[in-house]
Amino acid sequence: MSAMTRPILILTAAALFLAGCETFPEREFAGADSGAEDAMGDAGDQGNDARDPDAAEVGDAPDAAPDDAGADDTDAERDPGDNDTGDVPQDDMGDVARDDADAGCEENECGGCDPITVTLGESCGTCGSGAWTCGRDGNAICGGDLGEDAYNTCGGCEPLDTELARGEVCDTCPLKVVRCVDDRSVACEIPETPSFARPIGDATYALGQSAETSFTYLFEVAHTEVTQTMWRAADFPLNVANTGCTDCPVEGITFAEAVAFANALSERARLQPCYMAGNAVYSLAHAQRDQPPRPEWREGVRCNGYRLPTEAEWAAAARFGARNQSTYGPLDEIAWYVGNSNQQSHPVACRTPNRLGLYDVIGNVREMTWDSFDVLPEGRVVDYIADGRVNGSVSRSSDFFGSSRQSSLFSRNQMDPTERSELVGVRLVRTVP
């Protein structure tokens, strides 16, 4: 070969090598450029290797382990002691094992693997209100359990012989309410503490003939006036005119005694006493002083204990459903007044109640309120309370000695807080927490 021919052949071989390199994709790992340069530098000695595709791959990956060239070796050449997982990643082996275990378990009645130790369909839960059934996880669950709603009104599981709830009226004249004897039985008895109608306060009510009131809270009102039985049950002395009628309204009481009685009931029921005398709860001892201190109602309607109604609360409850009417029915059917009372008080709940379920709202005895006697506002008011104590207290409605004209839902009377009258009693209320 001549000297002129040798350079031409060398250049031709280099050109073929470069053309062959362009057929491979560019590698994105470090060292690719240096590998290409090495290949070109040794082109004269390794030209055949550069054209070998396998050799090119090895040259493009200089950092690969020497054994990589034998990556296609069969599993038979591997060490039997190796932790061979084939193509499954090591982290997924637990799931594979679990799937194999689940696939091989003996299914229970709900399709799961855990044994079911209850009988499907049998009752379970509070008072047996639920039944065992299959859950989504393949285990048994107690479905339909009513929880506390399964208990009867006395806290037991056995059905009672009445659909009335504890404290509801079960008889009248005199008033009787449902009392729990135990968690399986009830009795219909004359109550020793007031029972209450359903809460009100969520509407606008008539206050006077030209005024309306609304409330920012709910409250409940006693079905009847406080009776002599209730008064004596609280260990308060009686000073009544009608001594032969324990189911008649208590009367002959002062404003201070009524406040002390409400506190006594609150303490017995573990409720908050609403009235204070300085730092002490207002008590019968305060009320029996020659000069009783003025009770303080510091918490106002936020107090959840028994208390006297405000005049607005009394009007809203007494005129419930009657709006601007002076009565809620024929007078002889709803009230004891001079025309039918024989000029004495009568047992409570012997006349037709108003639409809220309150008895003797008109007649029998007048009813104390917390408010001082003042001119009622006009228009619409919210949470109205007259608390000035300038002109004595307000008693509302009429009494057994009142005329038919006086026997009205609009009747208001002024009373001295220290006076005792056989014509005046009290009906209690309570703010709903």
| pLDDT computed for residue 103 by the predictor | 56
| pLDDT computed for residue 389 by the predictor | 62
* Exposed / middle / buried, residue 306 (Cβ in 10 Å: 0-12, 13-18, 19+): buried
Q: What are phi and psi of 5, to 5 degrees?
A: -75, -35
Answer whether 313's CB lies under 8 Å from 331's CB.
no
CA-to-CA distance for 154 and 184, rounded, in angstroms? 7
For 204-431, CATH gives: 3.90.1580.10
In the chain, CATH 3.90.1580.10 covers 204-431
Give tens-digit pLDDT for 25-39.
444 434 444 443 444
The DSSP secondary-structure symbol of 294 reads P
Q: How many residues does the chain have?
A: 433
| pLDDT computed for residue 165 by the predictor | 85
Give tens-digit pLDDT for 166-186.
889 999 999 999 988 888 888
Please give the mean pLDDT across all residues of the chain. Answer: 81
Residue of 160, 233, 156 lying closest to 194 (CA atoms):
233
Answer whether 160's CB lies under 8 Å from 189's CB.
no
CA-to-CA distance for 11 and 173, rounded, in angstroms? 129
| pLDDT computed for residue 390 by the predictor | 58
CA-to-CA distance for 199 and 217, rounded, in angstroms? 10
CA-to-CA distance for 128 and 143, rounded, in angstroms? 11
Give tens-digit pLDDT for 82-93.
444 445 454 444
Within 13 Å, how many C-alpha atoms sit on residue 354's CB side?
Answer: 30
Answer whether 370's CB lies under 8 Å from 309's CB.
yes
| pLDDT computed for residue 391 by the predictor | 66
| pLDDT computed for residue 413 by the predictor | 93
CA-to-CA distance for 27 and 50, rounded, in angstroms? 16
| pLDDT computed for residue 269 by the predictor | 95
pLDDT lower than 70: segments of the chain: 1-104, 388-391
